[in-house]
Every structure is written in structure tokens, then in C-alpha cells.
Amino acid sequence: MNALYFESFGGPDVLRYGPVPAPELLPGTVLLRVKSIGLNYADIYRRHGNYHLAGQPPYILGYEAAGEILAVAADVPDLRVGQRIACADVPHTTAEVMRVPAEHVIPLPDDISCDQAAALLLQGLTAQYLTTDSYPVQAGTVVLVHAAAGGVGQLLIQFIKARGGQVIGLTSSAAKREQALAAGADAVLLYQDDWEEAVRAYRAEGVDVVYESVGSTLAQSLAVTRVRGTVVFFGMAGGDPAPVDPRQLMDHSLSLTGGDLWNYLTSRAERNQRATALFDLVRHGQLRATITATFPLREGAAAHALLESRRSTGKILLHP
């Protein structure tokens, strides 16, 4: 089979497309013929060597995919060949065929396409736990969302609005501002402007919660958070954050918490419960993933370059 892989850390140019050994069907697993793959910033981190990788090269990227089951192990009675499924937390998705533990299988309803699943699951489940677990958004909650035109950012906006919150978005261009406004943001500020002052002008006491995915802006996020407010740190697309002085947290009774989706997808029941809630929001028109670019898997390096450039908005998909 063919796959997108790399053997040394670096930029998009280290990515290769070509034949690799096909995965073996093991007990408790299925083999998935991959139809659609979601590209995420975590793939950039792994390619750069910022995230742990198990095993030896060649390293196959990806954690999010959807397709049809090719084969089912004898000890997996409730899944069948030809069934459409997806996964959001299984490695090696950037390949024509991948192995998925039955515990991690998310069956797809008839009204959810493979592209929808690959565009929604990982980032949608992330936005879900951020707004329900890390900081439960309620009616009237005022929220600042970094990278508001990105894949997670647009979904965060929709989750917050569905829960009755108000959204101030942050983006890097006028075009991205329009994307965030189209997703439902109440106001959108630009990074190149004095956005700290603008947040205070919007709400003098500061926001209730900041969803911080840039990293290098953490100090500013803390500065625009109200007394007894919260900053949820869940990404560092713009670089590592500076160390935080705990006295700042004490002086303003601020909370700084982290988030990682893997700590919430801890069982098959929880994966399916959270995915079902996600699909229900899609059915009721409250959640929509914006697919802004698709690439053949063999052109994965170009897809990585686009995502890493921060010129993209919404979701990028790869198709084997």
C-alpha cells in the first residue's frame, strides 16, 4: 500500500509518498480502507519532532480518518466488512489502509459522510470538551477565541453560540475576520492591532474565559481575563509560551488550565457518546465544518505547507 510518511524531522519537504508495508489484522482490530483524512496542527508538531512518536521510521502521520472496513478480526463480533466507520485518536491515518482497534471505532450514521467525519471529529470533539469540560460555557459567558478562523476556532465559535455565549475572535487578516464572523462570532479583532485594548473596550472587566491555542500569546490572554476568570491552554501554533509567574494567578484569582483530547476519549462508550452529540448538532444545523481545501494524499507536502503557513481557514482534507 502507499502512505504519506517521513524518516527525519523537518519541514514539509521531508514528507514522502510511496509504498510501505500494509498493516496486519490483529485480534481486537479492524482494517480500514481510508477514504478521507483530516489534517491537524498536531501533524505539524509530530513532523517537527515536538510530539512523541513511537517506533522507528518511516513514520506515518495522522490520527483522524474515515472510510470502510476491509477486514474484521474474529474476536470483534459487532463490526462488519463494508461498514463505514471513523476514528479520531488512532495513529497512521495517512495511508491507503490502516489498523483500528475496535475500542476506537466510531460507526458513521448514514447521514454523515466520510468527508464530514474527517473534517469534524478530532477538532469537533476538541471544541466539545473545551466548552463542556475545561470551562463549561453558559448563557452570557464572554469568551475570547484565538485563531478563530481555523478549524478548531470556527467550531469553538459554533459550540459557544449553541450554549448561549458571546464570542470575541482573534485572527490575522481581514479575510479571516470574515470567516470567523460567518461562523457566528460577535466581534473579531486582528492580532496586528492593539487587541488587548480592544478586548477591554468590549468588556472593561475582561473576558470570562480565553481559549488559547497560539502559545506565544499566553501572557496577553491572562492580561485580558477578568478577576476569577480562566485561560484554557490547548495549543502552541505560534510558539512556546513564556513561563507564567504564579503570583499573577494569585493576585487576580486567575485559573490556568490545560486541555488534551486524549484525556477525554478514554473508552469506546465515551467516544461514541461524544461523537453522537457532535453528529446531533450537525443534524440540527448548529455545527458545520468548513472544508477549505482537499489534496490527494500524494500531495501531502503541499497540504502541510498550506496549514503551516497559517494562510488556511477551516479544515484541510487528504484523499488517498
Question: Looking at residue 233, what is its pLDDT?
Answer: 97
CA distance 305 to 63: 18
Q: Cell numbers of 116, please?
A: 464530514
Judged by DSSP in three states, 140 sits in: coil
Question: Looking at residue 81, what is its pLDDT?
Answer: 98
Question: Looking at residue 235, what is its pLDDT?
Answer: 87
Question: Looking at residue 55, what is its pLDDT?
Answer: 79
Domain 2-120+264-319 has CATH 3.50.50.60: no
Given a contact cutoff of 8 angstroms between Cβ atoms, the answer to whether 157 and 148 are in contact is: yes
Q: What are 275-288's pLDDT values in tens digits? A: 999 999 999 999 98
Q: Cell numbers of 320, please?
A: 488517498
Q: What are 50-94's pLDDT values in tens digits? A: 877 777 889 999 999 999 999 999 999 999 999 999 999 999 999
Given a contact cutoff of 8 angstroms between Cβ atoms, the answer to whether 178 and 154 are in contact is: no
Question: Looking at residue 106, what is its pLDDT?
Answer: 97
**Domain boundaries defined on the chain:** 2-120+264-319, 139-258
Tallying the residues shown for the chain, one arrives at: 320
Question: Looking at residue 50, what is its pLDDT?
Answer: 80
Given a contact cutoff of 8 angstroms between Cβ atoms, the answer to whether 46 and 59 are in contact is: yes
Residues of the chain with pLDDT under 50: none
Question: Looking at residue 150, what is its pLDDT?
Answer: 87
- Measured at the CA of 213, the angle between CA 179 and CA 147, to 5 degrees, comes to 15
Indicate the CATH number of 139-258 among 3.40.50.300, 3.60.21.10, 3.40.50.410, 3.40.50.720: 3.40.50.720
Question: Looking at residue 236, what is its pLDDT?
Answer: 84
